[in-house]
């Protein structure tokens, strides 16, 4: 499923190709998040124009509305949302456990309340797989217990052990259901352990030993410092199989992508580019900016003079500032296009530089202008 | 500026071409409304894809934010919003007078309060022209006093007479300012008179006698019945010059367009297709529908099986229903695309049928399936 194309010397950065039933994905890759079956403000056409290779869907949201049964009945997620390229769904675990006071966890599974109407739902590892099978993405995730960056060690250990037991059950259920499916799905289990080096090491070894075509690193960028996150990647990655793609869940600022690629990560997703766009912020080569800043009132330049996106080719900061000020959807859409393109463009440049052997220089040059 | 191509027999329907500095407009035409310098949810690319020939901007909104001076400084409205085809701006009168309790009217002009911050502004016919000159649209409107459909005759007469005096002042100011402009602008004055036949007749004669390349019919679709609106058009149109394009302001349901074209109207604008789209409604050949209706839950068909728009070519009612239910911008955008295309497509068919001499049959056939 995954082939490494090129490894960077003096770094764990590498390029690769991940094959799925809906096409190949070039890695390192940034995956836009389409929580409820839509990457907010973007049509499939818009997504293709900016070079999107794969998008995410959130199982938690989709199972509550419209429900996985409807998606299955309508021919699966690809057909229903009109996206014929790869899709990944998470297991719902992250959302369930981030609403802690609405959730009761046992070894069997988790009882949680709907954010829509407070109705009670019970999810088990087997159910998480069944739901994702019905939704029909190319890559699906094992149910895990994601805890906060400040969790005590004893609870971190308990949650990790439960995550491991659940991962085994997910692998088993996935194999059972796979026999009935025409289109194969790849299952990725998730490494946990908060920021405790020994737990992370144990989890990396255990999760990597499972018979799956990829692994994910969860529980990062959830409250810990950036230094701890980068350190944890350095602890985890050497204990994962080199042959499997590594997906760092929920991470995706420009700086985090560069640092994580350097440490061996292949796949990223994050709501930041779309969320920042809707709230009037954008990235360019000098950092992150708020378009409402008064200095942009008469600014005829685009968000990023070096960017090739529709927004930067056609619109001024002056106009986009006005749109955001007026709460106009077009303003949110234009900044979303740019922010997504900025990250996808960054991964394209990262791949090019890894393939040329110049990743370290590229990373260094990037941070010369870019201020976090 | 305006040439008639073909007149329909036994009807006042006609096709024509309206020449502007930013291109020709085929009439009858439907003009999408871009209140604050954006047709809500639509990029210029989206607008061109559905065959948009001209868009509107609302002077009232633009003068309050960002202000006409900013637009002028940024090179004019076309450049600023990145729309290189024709634009029409209204005079602001409609918005000012629809906020009656925030407005004081004298023969000199109108004092009104900003909807944004309550700040006081004073607009005169001369100022309305100056502001629209700075904004820089291809077609601009004279300041008028638009009153409600239930206005007493004595007030309707007073408002009409003020509208006439203001129209004369607008024509004068426009001629004065035109000498300084490189790109010409066409000024349209506005016929008023509520639904009083004698006032409408008087107003039609007076407004048509002014030296302008087109006329508008205002004060309709503001509370009166459809029958009264159609009747008023029958009263007004025969007293206007046949050589001038006739613009019926703020009108634009499918049925109103057909009835008004039949009575001799050439130009339409309306917020309905965009507003309905954002609120989950759409038109098709059978009438208007709410996408949240339960019957669409598993409906794999598009809003309109006969439509050629991006929405209808790619998405099911089931998916669009979900998006609208979740308040997703993509749902609003997809229905906006379709509703605008539906009206533009209708005007394209109207033109084709007028040119073939089959407009009356086309109109009759349309209403066989379509239920208002």
Same domain, B245 and B289: no
Q: Which of A13-17, A113-117, A350-354 has the lowest mean pLDDT?
A: A113-117
Sequence-ordered list of residues with C-beta below 8 angstroms from that of A301, at least 6 positions apart, any chain: A316, A317
Tell me the shortest Cα–Cα distance from B71 to chain A, in angstroms. Answer: 9
Are B129 and B254 contained in the same domain? yes
Which residue in chain B has the smallest CA separation from A75? B300
Confidence of residue B96 (pLDDT cuts 50, 70, 90): confident
Task: Print the domain residue range for B58.
Answer: 2-269
The chain B residue lying nearest A38, using CA atoms, is: B330
Quick check: B84 pLDDT over 90?
yes
Regarding whether A243 and A283 lie in a shared domain, the answer is no
**Distance (Å, rounded) from C-alpha A339 to C-alpha A332?**
10
Residues of A in Cβ contact (< 8 Å) with B40 = 328-330
**A186 Cα distance to chain centroid:** 16
CA–CA gap between residue B369 and residue B254 (Å, rounded): 13
Q: Do A44 and B298 touch (CB under 8 A)?
A: no
Question: Is residue A87 located within the same domain as residue A170?
Answer: yes
- Please give the tally of structural domains in chain A: 2
- Cα dist. B268→B250, B252, B344, B356 in Å? 7, 6, 10, 22
Residues A128/A171, Cβ–Cβ less than 8 Å: no
Residue A291 is predicted with a pLDDT of: 98
- Residue B150 pLDDT > 90, yes or no? no
Is residue B123's pLDDT more than 90?
yes
CA atoms of B336 and B156, how far apart (whole Å): 36
Predicted confidence at residue A207, as pLDDT, reads: 98
The region of weakest confidence among A98-107, A151-160, B262-271, B363-372 is: A98-107
Predicted local confidence at residue B97, as pLDDT: 81
Of B304, B344, B35, B43, nearest in space to A41 by CA? B43
Q: Do residue A181 and residue A279 come from a single domain?
A: no
- For residue B101, the model assigns a pLDDT of 73
Q: Note whether ipTM > 0.95 here.
A: yes
Instruction: Answer yes or no: do A104 and A174 share one domain.
Output: yes
Three-class secondary structure of residue A241 per DSSP: coil
**d(Cα B340, Cα B348) in Å, to the nearest integer?**
12
**pLDDT value at A269 more than 80:** yes
Distance, in Å, from the CA atom of B63 to the CA atom of B71, rounded to the nearest integer, reads: 9
Q: pLDDT above 70 covers what percent of chain B?
A: 100
Q: Contact B37/A322 with Cβ under 8 angstroms?
A: yes
Partner-chain contact A38 B330, CB within 8 Å = yes
Q: In the beta sheet, which residues pair with residue B139?
A: B88, B186
Whether A193 and A324 map to the same domain: the answer is no
Sign of CA dihedral B248, B252, B256, B260: positive
Residues of A in Cβ contact (< 8 Å) with B330: 38, 40-43
* DSSP run (H or E) holding B178: helix B153-178
Residue A10 and residue A51 in one domain: yes
Residues of A with CB under 8 A from a CB of B: 36-38, 40-45, 65-66, 70, 73-74, 80-82, 297-298, 300, 310, 314-316, 318-319, 322-323, 325-326, 328-334
- Among A107-111, B76-80, B307-311, whose mean pLDDT is lowest? A107-111
Structure confidence at residue A6 (pLDDT):
98
Same domain for B176 and B250, yes or no, is yes
Active site residues of B: 90, 269
Q: Spell out which residues of chain B touch residue A314, defining contact as CB-CB under 8 Å.
A: 44, 82
**What average pLDDT is seen over chain B?**
96
Instruction: Please name the residue of chain A whose CA is at the shortest distance from the CA of residue B298.
Output: A74
Residue B198 CB contacts under 8 Å (≥ 6 apart), including other chains = none
Q: Which residues of A touch B310 (CB under 8 A)?
A: 43, 45
Question: For B79, which residue in chain A has the nearest alpha carbon?
Answer: A315
Return the percentage of chain A with pLDDT > 70, whole number.
Answer: 100
Confidence at residue B95, expressed as pLDDT on a 0 to 100 scale: 85
The predicted structure's pLDDT at residue A125: 98
pLDDT of residue B94: 86
For residue B178 the two structure tokens come to: 């035109």
Phi and psi (nearest 5°) for B119?
Answer: -65, 145
pLDDT at B55: 98
Provide the pLDDT for residue B42: 98
Phi, psi of A298 (to 5 degrees): -110, 25
Query: Is the same domain home to B151 and B250?
Result: yes
Q: How many CB pairs under 8 A join A and B?
A: 98
Q: Least CA distance to A61: which residue of chain B?
A: B326
Contact at 8 Å (CB) between A319 and B82?
yes
Cα angle B347, B353, B357 (rounded to 5 degrees) comes to 140
Nearest residue, CB atoms, B329 vs list A40, A66, A315: A40
pTM score: 0.98
Last residue of a domain, one of A270, A285, A300: A270
CB contact under 8 A, B80 and A38: no
Q: Classify residue B24 as exposed, middle or buried by CB count within 10 Å of its CB (0-12, 13-18, 19+).
A: middle
Same-domain status, B52 and B99: yes
Question: What local confidence, expressed as pLDDT, does residue B153 receive?
Answer: 97
CB contact under 8 A, A319 and B42: no
The pLDDT of residue A353: 98
List all residues 6 or more positions away from A25 whose beta carbon is below 8 Å from its beta carbon: A17, A18, A19, A53, A54, A86
* Pairwise CA distance, residues A162 & A144, whole Å: 8
Of B36, B300, B325, the CB nearest to A65: B325
Contact criterion met (CB < 8 Å) for A326 and B65: yes
For chain A, give the mean pLDDT: 96
Say which of B40, B326, B334 has its CB closest to residue A329: B40
Q: Which of A255, A270, A285 is the last residue of a domain?
A: A270
Instruction: Report pLDDT digits (tens) over B152-174.
Output: 999 999 999 999 999 999 999 99
Answer yes or no: is pLDDT of B343 > 80: yes
> In Å, how far are A172, A189, A206, A208 from A211, measured between CA atoms?
10, 10, 11, 8
Give me the helix-helix angle, B153-178 and B125-135, nearest 10°. 50
pLDDT in tens, A207-243: 999 999 999 999 999 989 999 999 999 999 999 999 9
Q: Residue B98: its pLDDT value, please?
A: 80
Per CB-CB distance under 8 Å, the chain A contacts of B297 are 66, 70
Residues A95 and A230 in one domain: yes
pLDDT band at A151 (very low <50, low <70, confident <90, very high): very high
Q: Last residue of a domain, which of B240, B269, B298?
A: B269
Q: pLDDT tens across B252-310, in order?
A: 999 999 999 999 999 999 999 999 999 999 999 999 999 999 999 999 999 999 999 99
A340-370 pLDDT, tens per residue? 999 999 999 999 999 999 999 999 999 999 9
CATH at residue A178: 3.20.20.105
Question: For the residues of B198-248, what is the DSSP string, one character each?
Answer: HHHHHHHHHHHHSS-S-EEE-S-SSSS-HHHHHHHHHHHGGGS-TTS-EEE
Mean pLDDT of A326-335: 98
Chain B contacts of A322, Cβ < 8 Å? Answer: 36-37, 65-66
């Amino acid at each position: 499923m995954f082939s490494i194309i090129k490894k960077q010397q003096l770094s764990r950065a590498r390029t690769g190709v991940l094959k799925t039933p809906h096409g190949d994905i070039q890695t390192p890759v940034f995956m836009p998040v389409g929580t409820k079956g839509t990457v907010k403000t973007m049509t499939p056409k818009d997504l293709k124009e900016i070079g999107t290779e794969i998008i995410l869907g959130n199982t938690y949201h989709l199972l509550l509305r419209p429900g996985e049964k409807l998606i299955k009945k309508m021919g699966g997620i690809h057909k229903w949302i009109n996206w014929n390229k790869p899709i990944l769904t998470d297991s719902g675990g992250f959302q369930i456990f981030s609403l802690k006071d609405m959730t009761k966890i046992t070894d069997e599974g988790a009882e949680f309340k709907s954010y829509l109407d407070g109705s009670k739902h019970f999810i088990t590892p087997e159910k998480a797989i069944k739901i994702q099978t019905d939704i029909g993405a190319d890559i699906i995730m094992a149910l895990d217990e994601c805890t906060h960056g400040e969790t005590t060690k004893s609870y971190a250990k308990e949650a990790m052990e439960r995550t491991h037991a659940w991962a085994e059950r997910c692998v088993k259920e996935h194999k059972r259901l796979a026999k009935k499916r025409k289109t194969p799905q790849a299952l990725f289990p998730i490494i946990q352990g908060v920021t405790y080096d020994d737990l992370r090491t144990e989890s990396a070894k255990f999760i990597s030993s499972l018979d799956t075509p990829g692994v994910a690193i969860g529980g990062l960028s959830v409250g810990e410092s950036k230094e701890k996150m980068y350190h944890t990647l350095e602890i985890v990655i050497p204990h994962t199989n080199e042959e499997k793609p590594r997906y760092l869940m929920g991470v995706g600022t420009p700086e985090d992508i560069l640092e994580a690629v350097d440490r061996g990560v292949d796949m990223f997703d994050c709501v930041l580019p779309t969320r920042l766009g809707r709230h009037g912020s954008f990235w360019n080569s000098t950092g992150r900016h708020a378009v409402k800043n008064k200095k942009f009132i008469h600014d005829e330049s685009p968000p990023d003079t070096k960017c090739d996106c529709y927004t930067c080719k056609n619109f001024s900061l002056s106009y986009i500032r006005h749109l955001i000020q007026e709460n106009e959807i077009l303003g949110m859409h234009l900044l979303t296009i740019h922010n997504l393109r900025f990250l996808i463009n960054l991964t394209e440049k990262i791949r090019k530089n890894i393939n040329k052997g110049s990743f370290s220089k590229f990373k260094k040059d990037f941070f010369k202008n870019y201020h976090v």
